[in-house]
Amino acid sequence: MTADLFETVADVRPSFEVIAVGAALLRGFAGPLESELMTALRDVVAQAPFRRMVTPGGHQMSVAMTNCGSAGWITDRTGYRYGADDPETGKPWPAMPALLRDLAGRAADHAGFAGFSPDVCLVNRYVPGARMSLHQDRDELDFGAPIVSVSLGLPAIFLWGGLKRSDKPRRFRLEHGDVAVWGGPARLNFHGVAPLADGEHPLMGRQRINLTFRKVR
């Protein structure tokens, strides 16, 4: 069953769009696994519900988040960090489902980063109007590993900047099933998401879910 699904993914040969040295968009790469991904996510969210965290500056984020894996990304008034336990439940973050880890590993491999084995998956939930301002992913210890980002649900405009905050970002539309991978010389590029446009996705409803896989430790 599982092997058949993976063969399907390989046979589809999703389109591969290089957006920078070390960064690529794999269009539709996660599409064949959509229902398995939703089931796995439902299970994660049942254990660690979405919540809107507060930045060190005291702003509540418009994006709601949760995590799975051996640690999770959190922000509060004291700063940004990874922690082994969910501060809301006091329990360890739910384990990362093998299906997710495997998808991320295959996407990274496809983009030229062999052997990626993420320990954290940050799950972001955008409702219409939610956005993520330009930032670098730099709370991880290991910048040698790429970031793998899976988009589900409503389409979004991904803002892809450069290594300086002032570099003007380019805009790429990310749709349900698209996977972005960035690493190597692009690992610390600024990126973000423009305010989500309203809409209704046939499978996911009025939201976008993004999964980012990281090697944190």
Least distance in angstroms from the C-beta of 152 to Fe ion: 16
Measured CA to CA, the distance from residue 203 to residue 41 in angstroms comes to 14
CB nearer to ligand SIN: pick between 26 and 132: 132
CB nearer to ligand SIN: pick between 207 and 212: 212
Going by C-alpha positions, the residue among 161, 132, 121, 157 that lies closest to residue 62 is: 132
Least distance in angstroms from the C-beta of 88 to ligand SIN: 19
Q: Which residues bind ligand SIN (CB under 6 A)?
A: 124, 132, 149, 158, 191, 193, 210, 212
Q: How many residues bind Fe ion (CB under 5 A)?
A: 1
Going by C-alpha positions, the residue among 178, 107, 165 that lies closest to residue 136 is: 165
One of 86, 137, 140, 178 touching Fe ion (CB under 5 A): 137
Category of 58 on φ-ψ map: left (φ > 0), alpha (ψ -120 to 50) or beta = left
Least distance in angstroms from the C-beta of 135 to ligand SIN: 7
Structure tokens that stand for 77 in this block = 């008034």
Quick check: 140 binds Fe ion (CB under 5 A)? no
Least distance in angstroms from the C-beta of 132 to ligand SIN: 5
Q: Which residue is nearest to Fe ion (CB)?
A: 137
Q: Which residue is nearest to ligand SIN (CB)?
A: 210
Measured CA to CA, the distance from residue 24 to residue 132 in angstroms comes to 20
Strands, DSSP E only, in 21-63? 23-26
Least distance in angstroms from the C-beta of 187 to Fe ion: 11
Kind plus residue range of the DSSP H or E element containing 34: helix 34-47
Measured CA to CA, the distance from residue 53 to residue 191 in angstroms comes to 19
Site of interaction with Fe ion (CB under 5 A): 137
